[in-house]
Amino acid sequence: MQHLQTRAIALPQLGLGTFRMEGDDCREAVESALELGYRHLDTAAMYNNEAAVGAAIAASALKRDALHVTTKVWHDQLAPAAIRRSLQASLDRLRLDYVDLFMVHWPAPDMDLPAIFATLAELQAAGRVRAIGVCNFTLPMLRAAIDAIGAPVACNQVEYHVLLDQTPMRDYLAAKSIPLIAYCPLAQGTLADHPELGAIGRKHGASAAQVALKWLLDQDGVAAIPKARRRASQQANLDALALRLDDDDRRVIAALPKDRRFVNPPFAPAWDEMPD
> Amino acid identity, residue 210?
Q
Question: What pLDDT, on a 0 to 100 scale, did the predictor assign at position 61?
Answer: 87
Q: Give, in order, the Cα–Cα distances in Å from 130 to each of 51, 101, 185.
A: 20, 6, 25
Q: How far apart are CA 272 and CA 109, in angstroms?
A: 16
Question: What pLDDT, on a 0 to 100 scale, did the predictor assign at position 276?
Answer: 46
The catalytic site residues sit at: 47
Give, as one character, the DSSP assignment of residue 110.
T
202: phi then psi, degrees, rounded to nearest 5: -60, -35
Q: How far apart are CA 122 and CA 181, in angstroms?
A: 24
State pTM to two decimals: 0.96
Question: What pLDDT, on a 0 to 100 scale, did the predictor assign at position 72?
Answer: 98
**For each successive 10 residues of the chain (276 residues), what is the average pLDDT?**
94 97 97 98 98 98 96 98 98 98 97 97 97 98 96 98 97 97 96 97 98 98 97 98 98 97 96 64
Helix or strand (DSSP H, E) at 32 = helix 23-36
Question: What pLDDT, on a 0 to 100 scale, did the predictor assign at position 273?
Answer: 66
Check the CA dihedral 73-76-80-86 and report its sign: negative
Q: How far apart are CA 140 and CA 132, in angstroms?
A: 18
Give the number of other CB atoms < 10 A from CB of residue 178. 20
Query: How far is residue 208 CA from its own chain's centroid?
Result: 21
